[in-house]
Structure 1
């Protein structure tokens, strides 16, 4: 007689040795407390170099005090963490720092041309450097001032703008929207904050530069160049940047755009 096979009962131990219970992996909950703390430390480091200039000009705290007691220790702490406790956010910071310095270089190509070749306004960076090293030697001040300008001001703006853009979800928008966002950020709050510092502080126009139609126009053009180059840098790196950002975007429109992103091989018009 033909035998009809009954239903097959899978062995609960068919993937492991008999008598040994199968291990079920338990996914640990992801904790973002340290990530948030680290991001806020980076944002503080990004903002403090510019705020230190305002504090100096408004005669609140000397710039060398802020640099020695707050900014440099914070920068060293984060550098040590990057080496011994790396985090994906560090890659975002590195790209923001690099593109911010490059955008500052593009800005200075225009600014120094109008300062030293055309003589349209002065260069207050060497004097700013003397605020840092507590001296009056403008040669040393120029070296210190430009190091601060590129790493602190330009790099700091790059770090802060990249982090804020990823948090909002700018990377999911169109190329035009991204460039407009970065140019707008360079105008407000960066350029407007600079002009407000010069205009409202007691000795801002003596310590930095006088406010005239020429200086207002030239400084605005320089910041437009800075924002445009920084936005182009963000566009170039946005795919890798998005991979290292741990949360969905805050902007609802960016969330919708993110779901409909084109494949990596597609190009935008």
Structure 2
């Protein structure tokens, strides 16, 4: 019979050589790499579509959905503590996107300051022209893929660099800064540099630039607050020391 990992045993122990007792984290590193890849693909797929490199329909059907399915199967049959971090990142990323959209949709549909390109983006995913279906698919992509993906990536990188040990101000500044660059800067760069980007997404005017920046500032702030709320639990599931030195790590190294 094929060997199925014991869900109660961490993967570094499950795969460690029985004779040496050494802890091996290569499976966890691979898993985190796959999560980061999946988290980045929805946003990169938009840029690839607008630049004419590859369609979102192909990226979603051939790469994103299969990779997501593989990771879901791993979570069910071979769970790892990192999966819980990913769950927190997914939730808070979607919640931050929701708060961002309260501001964005108010400026779109009530104030009429700019347009909503998400339904059009949805038609790129399902390769159709129906606006209602495009809106449903587009907002699913936005919340699960863009918002949730950014949340997963932010949380994993924050733990990697030790933000769980930093002050509230440092955490919030880091999350807001990351929401501005590369996320907002990447969006504006895609619109500005791609052929027909302003026609496909939204025109670049002082109003749209400022509104999109405010939205990303809101997103980064809410996501940072979510990280602060969950960081005590997140730290328990993160088995490695941060890449950047922290006061706690220095004290632990002191004899």
Structure 2-normalised TM-score? 0.90
Task: Pick the aligned partner of 2:77 from 66, 84, 88.
Answer: 84
Matched, 1:171 2:171: no
Cα offset, 1:28, TM superposition: 1.4
Cα distance between partner residues in 1 of 2:166 and 2:251: 10
- The residue number in structure 2 matching 1:127 is 120
Matched, 1:41 2:34: yes
Cα distance between partner residues in 2 of 1:191 and 1:259: 35
Change (3 A) 1:122 1:260: farther
- The residue number in structure 2 matching 1:16 is none
How do 1:210-221 residues align onto structure 2 when only pairs under 5 Å count? Answer: 210-221=203-214
- The residue number in structure 2 matching 1:56 is 49
Task: Report Cα offsets for 1:35-84 as digits up to 9, x if no partner.
Answer: 00000000000000000000000000011000000000000000010001
Contact map agreement 1:126 1:145 (CA 8 A) in 2: yes
Give the 4+ runs in structure 1 shifted more than 6 A. none
How do 1:1-269 residues align onto structure 2 when only pairs under 5 Å count? Answer: 28-252=21-245, 255-258=246-249
Contact map agreement 2:198 2:204 (CA 8 A) in 1: yes
Q: Which consecutive residues of structure 1, in runs of 5 or more, have no partner in the other structure? A: 1-24, 262-269
Q: Which consecutive residues of structure 2, in runs of 5 or more, have no partner in the other structure? A: 1-17
Task: Report Cα offsets for 1:91-121 as digits up to 9, x if no partner.
Answer: 0000000000000000000000000000000
Contact map agreement 2:241 2:249 (CA 8 A) in 1: no
Contact map agreement 1:129 1:141 (CA 8 A) in 2: yes
Structure 1-normalised TM-score? 0.85
> Which structure has the bigger radius of gyration?
1
Contact map agreement 1:129 1:144 (CA 8 A) in 2: yes
1:121 match: secondary structure:
coil
Contact map agreement 1:106 1:226 (CA 8 A) in 2: yes
Cα offset, 1:246, TM superposition: 1.6
Cα offset, 1:27, TM superposition: 6.9
